[in-house]
Amino acid sequence: MKAVPFCLVFVKPQKALAEVSRNTGIPVDRLTVGNQATLADTDIKRFKVIDSEDNTYSIFLDAAGNPVSEEVVNQITEAFHNKGFVGKLEVALNDLLKQGSNKPIRVIISLKDKEPMTPSRGRTPVERQANLNKLRDRYAAIEQPIVALLKANGQEVIYQSPFAPIVGASVSPQFTTNQSYCLRCNKSNRISSSWDKFS
């Protein structure tokens, strides 16, 4: 019998349901898979499982259907997020700063949200909208300090995301090198127009 190629191995959602049932004691017939996604460029899949009372559980399984520990998932996630960065600066931004230009640079500032993201829970559109409004308020509060800092230092704020703690700005190279935020360079001149449709 030939071995199945690695890329063709699929984890069945039933394995995720069985694992959550084993961990929680909730019968499998009271659980459903809300969604699933592959973790970075690995064979690990994350399953979001929802019980009959709308409680959500996350489970990570490898290609064989075995549970993957939170520690391993965190290590993979951290390595993925650090890929392409020199300290807090994206490689492209770091290279641009080395050129010594004084022209403003368009950057994306990614801010950390210390609270875990909650899915849009609720059975009705009104409940889901209320949860979405809470998320938007939380992201605005997270973005506010960097927006104030940018404005106080004469930098241009281009965009504030209502969907994630992200701020777009046009900043001087000196400002960029002095900040402890995770900055990403965007060389595209279309950044403003592409962001306009989200505002």
Q: 159-171 pLDDT, tens per residue?
A: 888 888 888 888 8
pTM above 0.85, yes or no: no
Instruction: Provide mean pLDDT across the span 176-195.
Output: 46
Query: How many CB atoms are closer than 10 A to CB 118?
Result: 11
Tell me the HSE value of 195 on the side-chain side, using a 13 A CA sphere: 20
| Pair (63, 89) in one structural domain | no
| Pair (111, 178) in one structural domain | yes
Owning domain of residue 50? 6-79
| Pair (70, 130) in one structural domain | no
| Pair (90, 69) in one structural domain | no
pLDDT bracket for residue 117 (50, 70, 90): low
User: Which tokens sit at 188?
Assistant: 């595209």
| Pair (91, 186) in one structural domain | yes
How many whole angstroms separate alpha carbon 14 and alpha carbon 152? 54
In a domain, 1, yes or no: no
pLDDT tens-digit readout, 39-71: 877 888 889 899 988 888 989 999 888 999 989
How many whole angstroms separate alpha carbon 66 and alpha carbon 44? 9
Beta-sheet strand order (sheet of 166-171): 85-86, 89-90, 182-185, 105-110, 166-171, 156-160
